[in-house]
Amino acid sequence: MSDVQSSFDILVLGGGPGGYVAAIRAAQLGRSVALVEREALGGVCLNWGCVPSKALLRSAQLYQDILRAGDFGLKVAEPGFDWSAIVKRSRQVADRTRRGVNYLMKKNGITVVEGRGELLGRGKMGVKGENGELELAAKDIILAVGGHPRAVPGLEIDRTSVITSREALALPELPRSVLIVGAGAIGIEFAYMLNSFGVTVTVVELLERILPLEDEEVSEELHRIFTKRGIKFITGAKVTSLSREGGLCRVTVESASGSTEIDTEKVLLAVGVAANTEGIGLEAAGVETERGFIRVDDTCRTAAKGVSAIGDCIGAPLLAHAASREALVAVDSLCGLPALRPAPGLIPGAIYCEPQVASIGLTEKKAEAAGFKVRVGRFPFRPLGKALASGNTDGFAKLVIDSGTGKLLGAHLIGPEATELIPELSLARWLDLDAAALHRAVHPHPTFSEAVAEAAADCLGQAIHI
């Protein structure tokens, strides 16, 4: 490490979708930049999260399509799958994505330092790596240290029988049964994927419904669809104890209806994310935290002069694309350009089960609670020609508008390609458009996007196809 330049304009700690984007943006603005990463460029998202999980989900979707090939007039003899090959492909996808980030670092002249970084105060950072230790200095430091799966009291993670999403992404073989603790985005995606390959799946959720952050109608629709596929949900419940016996985990689940014991091969914890703030010198640098996350202002600056923070380590919405946007905000602000963090209601969410779920802005209930006089427009996918032709008819589009102004307050989609449809509604929120504008915009036929236009029309009492 002795040959590494020691002084830079900006130091970035963490190479995930927040950190590497911050590094690139700073280099674009003419700053000298070093990025410190302890494990692998791309962070959890590219290596053990967003990207490899989507590869597994794609395999699950294709397998399910093959199983119903007869519905499309196709003949398939003895459909099956090779789990090890499925996992291998997902790792190859992650590896290729990581190599792309490495290329971007070199292209933009960014110094990458491998090792564990720690703030030393006064614009300094110590780095410990396999090749020794060094001290780096910079006028500004950006923390993009990410997070890790949150633990559950009484459920010790042994990474064999009680696992996190990281182990679930590379299971050496499929278990016969899995109990998933948590029915948020991660838990639901794994529930869909494992169920698609024949695993018996039970999901336990502490709150009263699955996907508790989504609109209530969307949660109910997905609950209905997944239950029909054989996934069991226990909501308003918590796991109170776990014992191991004969290669199985015996889990006790308590709810309002009583206590239940469930035997399962694996327990997958998917109850949220905790920030990676331990051992990085926050106190020494004067960086403040709140409920375990780093406190920042609207430009992503912390209480410590010269230290900014972005991504999962600063808390909700805990999304890769939010981290990337915060990276641009932090760097632009440091470089004297106008920049503010987007409000949470302007950041879309996406869940890649089948049917997909995507949303932005306020749910119907939250809009009402905020004092808006709400009007709702809905349109199911079932009547659409594209949905019928593709054989994907589950779900609906739901728009929530202010009845006085017609402005879009929230959009909630469950159905085919919902994650590809949400950007239009994200743009509508950014531009403060009303339902009439969404209705007037011409949507090609036949497409799934017609559901958005029809839902906007329904807000105005002008839906045509229902």
Residues known to be catalytic: 445
Distance separating alpha carbons of residues 443 and 454, to the nearest angstrom: 10
Place of tokens 């006089």: 373
Place of tokens 């209480």: 303
Is 192 within 8 Å of 353 (Cβ atoms)? yes
Nearest partner of 135 among 289, 309, 281, 335, judged by Cα: 281
434 DSSP 8-state letter: B
Task: List the structure tokens of 202.
Answer: 């039970």
> What DSSP string describes 396-416?
EEEEEEETTT-BEEEEEEEET
Residues 350-377 as b or e (16 or more Cβ within 10 Å = b): bbbbbbbbbbbbbbbebbeeeebebbbb
Q: What are phi and psi of 90, to 5 degrees?
A: -65, -35
- Judged on CB neighbours under 10 Å (0-12, 13-18, 19+), 75 is exposed
